[in-house]
Amino acid sequence: MARKDRPLSSRELLSRLGLNEDAPNDLIQNESLDDLLQGLEGDLGVVLRERFARLSQSHPFKPGDLVTWKPGLMNRRVPLRGQPAVVVSVLDEPVLDNETESGSTYYREPHDIVLGVIWDQEPGRGDFVTFHFDSRRFEPWER
C-alpha cells in the first residue's frame, strides 16, 4: 500500500530550498546594497543604468553553448553564481512566466532559453536537469 506523503512544514520547505538557520537571508545576493553603494560612492542611479545596459546587451546563443549569469542579473538560485550551464534550446517564442502577482520579480518574465545544469543537492544530486530562463540575464561562460 502506497504511503500518502504528508505536507511539508514551512521549516522543511525552507530547508529544501537551501534556507536554514545557517543562511536565513542568502537567497541570491551575497553583497548588501549598502556595500554596493559605498563602492560606487552612493549613486544608485549609476548601478541602475549599468544593470539596465547589461540586461539590454544580447548574445546569440545556440544549443551546446556554455553560459553563466551576467554580473548583477542573477534572479534565481540555479545555476550557481559563476558556474556554467549548457544551452539546451533557444525558443522561437518566449514562454511568459505564469506568476500572477505583479509584484513578483518573475511576473511575465520572458523565458526564451532552456538551460541544463548538474543538480547539486539531494535528492537527485548529479542529475542533469533543465530550466527555462530569460536569456538577457546570461553571457557566454569563460573559464
DSSP secondary structure letter of residue 8: P
Residue 5 lies in a domain: no
Higher pLDDT, 132 or 10: 132
Q: For residue 70, tell me if it sits in a domain.
A: yes
- Cα–Cα distance, 37 to 45 (Å, whole number): 10
**C-alpha–C-alpha distance, residues 79 and 83, integer Å:** 6
pLDDT value for 122: 85
For the chain, what is the domain count?
1
Look at residue 87 and tell me if it is in a domain.
yes
Cis peptide bond N-terminal to 79, omega within 30:
yes
Q: How confident is the model at residue 118 (pLDDT cuts 50, 70, 90)?
A: very high
Residues 94 and 96: their CA atoms lie apart, in Å, by 6
pTM for this model (two decimals): 0.71
Q: Is residue 4 included in any domain, yes or no?
A: no
The verdict on residue 55 lying in a domain is: yes
Instruction: Decide if 22 is inside a domain.
Output: yes
pLDDT at residue 4 in the model: 58
Domain extent, residue 27, equals 10-140
pLDDT per position as a tens digit, 81-110: 999 999 999 999 999 988 788 888 888 889
For residue 143, what is the DSSP state? -
